[in-house]
Amino acid sequence: MTAMLEVRGISKRFGGVQANTDVGLALPESAIRCVIGPNGAGKSTLVSMLSGHVRPDRGTIRLRGKDITSWPAHRVASAGMVRKFQRPSFYPDLTVRQNLEIAVLGSGLRRRALAVRVQEVAESVRLGDALDDPAAHLPHGRTQWLEIGLVIGRRAQIMLLDEPTAGMTPGETMMTAGLVRELVDTQGVAAIVVEHDMGFVRALEAEVTVLHLGRVIAEGPMSDIEQNAQVRAVYLGEEVA
Amino acid sequence: MSDDLGGTRIESVRRHPAAAAARRWASGENIAASVVFVALFYVPYVFAGYPVFVLPQYMLFGILAMSLCLLWGLGGMVSFGQAAFFIVGAYSMGIAVHDIAGALGPWAGIGLGVAIAAAAAAAVGYFLFSARVRDSYFVLVTLAISTIAQVVANTASGVTGGFNGMFVPKVALDLPGLALSLQSDLTAYYVVFLLTLVTYVGLRTLQRSAFGKILVSIRENEERTESLGYNTALRKTIAFAISGGVAALAGAFYATDAGFVSPDLGGVLFSTNVVVWVAIGGRQYFLGAIVGAIGISALSNQLNAWIPTYWQLLLGLLFFVVIAFFRRGLVGTLLAIRPSMRRAQ
Ligand SMILES: Nc1ncnc2c1ncn2[C@@H]1O[C@H](COP(=O)(O)OP(=O)(O)O)[C@@H](O)[C@H]1O
Ligand SMILES: [Mg+2]
């Protein structure tokens, strides 16, 4: 079986910091992969390399067999791998509708089809009632959904979600897990999700990659990961203790 | 609840498409623009003489201001280089009229001016935007563009007449079955009026297009737009090229309308005027650019006659007040009043 996304041995150094070392992963069609690890483990750097925002020093990234390692971000996104940033990034002074329009225009729809698709995307991220609100007026949790909506609106085949539940209440976090699961199941997209919240990761029932000091230290289903002694020591241990 | 409202609206759109289209069209800006253009249309009926003679020049400044509005209002890029592209159009017209005899001359001047300015803007824009030059660095580079234009105009005196300037005759525009001689003030007035109207409608159409919306999103958050798959550097380059072309279009008509082109028309001072017009008129609206350019030019003219010593100071004060208290500019502020009035009813 060939994977939709195949990452081999990518590394990145920022000055004195080795942010990623020899990171690899393979993502099948319509799969979810969670990336966990303590702060500074290199999760966002990995996402930035995948999205074309940071060029790896070494290694290759293949999307459906195509080597996209040195592509600029806009080209990677056009090819179907679209990112949500860890920090908020949307258009606060535009309405929710206008925000989503920008994303959907990129998939080539115009006029009536555009409006219909915007409505559809808004509903799929639970924002159907807020289309004409300025995005800046949304409560924080809903801006995260708007950002997922932007990724979906662009017709991402792979969503790169960097901490999509940051700042959410436990209830919102679980709703977001359900939302990601639903998008993957109904729209056939795949997702790479960086997360801190273990409840969220368990709820997604996905394969997990654990990063520590820029290296992959474990990979597998969450139930195995939780038994892994090294992982418990560097990561889960902190939480349990 | 609000889903219901949305449903009702879609229903009524289906039943009365013409009425719905009319309602959508009747935005504050479209109504205000109709008022302004109808007023401009009737000026020659009411005032003969000086206003008819001078207003075309101000309307051309309005087109120049709209070229900045495209960059600044939509794209969020403040340019102090618009005069440079304006003067490319102006010299083009002057040179073409002198060197190419007959009916082709003026058209060649317009066409070449617009093409050269757009190509130059595209080339400069491509380098700037690919290198991610933005904000205050972009402003600095555009200031340099104006400075260079003025210096070149002064030194290349063999082509431009240098310091002494260049005289340009009033041309006749030959159209199939119709020759419009700009020697008649009234003809010149309506030719420029039409040009202004067409440019306005064209830019408004661009604003509503996908390109316009994406340009606005670049202004709001360029990184997000790029990460949604748009080559933002390319789009900014295209906007810069269109803007340069529109500025040159105004310049070409200005040359023949005013009859004289001098190097300071391409300089920093004149470019700054354009920024002031747009800021005072309201940078978010192409109509604001027109109103700002015509209003400030007319006001300067009057003030200059009344109080020759202090008028620039007064204008500076006005600029300060608008920047400090009415950041949306004149048109932006007026249009912002409307919805709150409606709510009060
Ligand atoms: N652009 C950058 N320049 C310099 N150092 C960086 C940059 N981005 C990340 N780093 C460093 O790389 C390491 C990994 O950071 P990051 O990928 O953001 O980790 P995580 O997302 O897992 O918290 C950190 O030590 C961080 O300081
Ligand atoms: Mg991070």
Pick from A140-144, A231-235, B1-5: least confident: B1-5
End-to-end CA distance of chain B: 23
> Which is more confident, B261 or B14?
B261
pLDDT for residue A105 is more than 60: yes
- What's the gap in Å between A17 CA and the centre of ligand 1? 8
Summary mean pLDDT of chain B? 90
Residue from A78, A96, A105 to probe the interface with B (highest B Cβ count within 10 Å): A105
Q: Which band of pLDDT confidence, cut at 50, 70 and 90, is reported for residue B18? A: confident
This model's pTM is above 0.95: no
Contacts made by residues A60-63, CB under 8 angstroms, sequence distance 24+: A60/A7, A60/A8, A60/A9, A60/A10, A61/A5, A61/A6, A61/A7, A61/A8, A61/A10, A62/A5, A62/A6, A62/A7, A62/A8, A63/A4, A63/A5, A63/A158
Summary mean pLDDT of chain A? 93
Strand partners, B167: B260
At residue B10, the pLDDT reads 44
A84-110: average pLDDT = 96
- What's the gap in Å between A194 CA and the centre of ligand 2? 8
pLDDT for residue A236 is more than 70: no
B173-202: average pLDDT = 94
> Which is more confident, B128 or A231?
B128
pLDDT for residue B8 is more than 80: no
At residue A167, the pLDDT reads 87
Candidate from B220, B224, B228 with C-beta closest to A93: B220
Instruction: Give tens-digit pLDDT for B120-137.
Output: 999 999 999 999 999 899
pLDDT for residue B242 is more than 60: yes
Q: What percent of chain A has pLDDT over 70?
A: 97
Instruction: Give tens-digit pLDDT for A32-53.
Output: 999 999 999 999 999 999 999 9
Q: Which band of pLDDT confidence, cut at 50, 70 and 90, is reported for residue B27? A: confident
Residue in B271, B277, B276, B298 with CA at minimum distance from that of residue B289? B277
Q: Does A74 touch chain B (CB under 8 A)?
A: yes
At residue A149, the pLDDT reads 97
Contacts A150 to B, Cβ<8 Å: 224, 228
- In the block, tokens 């539940």 appear at A165
Candidate from B3, B6, B225 with C-beta closest to A102: B225
Residue from B207, B216, B221, B228 to probe the interface with A (highest A Cβ count within 10 Å): B228
At residue B1, the pLDDT reads 35
CA distance A6 to chain B (A): 20
At residue A235, the pLDDT reads 67
A129-142: average pLDDT = 96
A186-214: average pLDDT = 93
Does the ipTM surpass 0.85?
yes
Q: Does A39 touch chain B (CB under 8 A)?
A: no
- What's the gap in Å between A162 CA and the centre of ligand 2? 7
Instruction: Give tens-digit pLDDT for B223-241.
Output: 999 999 999 999 999 999 9
pLDDT for residue A171 is more than 70: yes
Instruction: Give tens-digit pLDDT for A58-82.
Output: 999 999 999 999 999 999 999 999 9
Candidate from B3, B220, B227 with C-beta closest to A94: B220
Instruction: Give tens-digit pLDDT for B55-69.
Output: 999 999 999 999 999
Is the CB of B227 less than 8 angstroms away from the CB of A82?
Answer: yes
- What's the gap in Å between A191 CA and the centre of ligand 1? 21
> Which residues, 6+ apart, have CB-to-CB distance to A238 below 8 Å?
A38
Is the CB of B229 less than 8 angstroms away from the CB of A150?
Answer: no
For residue B23, how many other CB atoms are within 10 A of its CB? 12
B14-33: average pLDDT = 75
Instruction: Give tens-digit pLDDT for A207-226.
Output: 999 999 999 999 999 989 98
Candidate from B6, B217, B223 with C-beta closest to A102: B217
At residue B74, the pLDDT reads 97
pLDDT for residue B24 is more than 90: no
User: How far apart are alpha carbons B340 and B345 in whole angstroms?
Assistant: 9
At residue B16, the pLDDT reads 65
At residue B344, the pLDDT reads 42
Pocket test for ligand 1, best of A18, A20, A39, A45 (most atoms within 8 A of CB): A45
Q: Does A105 touch chain B (CB under 8 A)?
A: yes
- What's the gap in Å between B1 CA and the centre of ligand 2? 39
Q: Does B221 touch chain A (CB under 8 A)?
A: yes
At residue B312, the pLDDT reads 83
- In the block, tokens 């995948």 appear at A50
B188-194: average pLDDT = 97
Q: Which band of pLDDT confidence, cut at 50, 70 and 90, is reported for residue B3? A: very low
A38 lines ligand 1 (CB under 6 A): no
At residue B7, the pLDDT reads 39
3-state helix, strand, coil in chain A (%, to 5): 40, 25, 35
At residue B338, the pLDDT reads 58
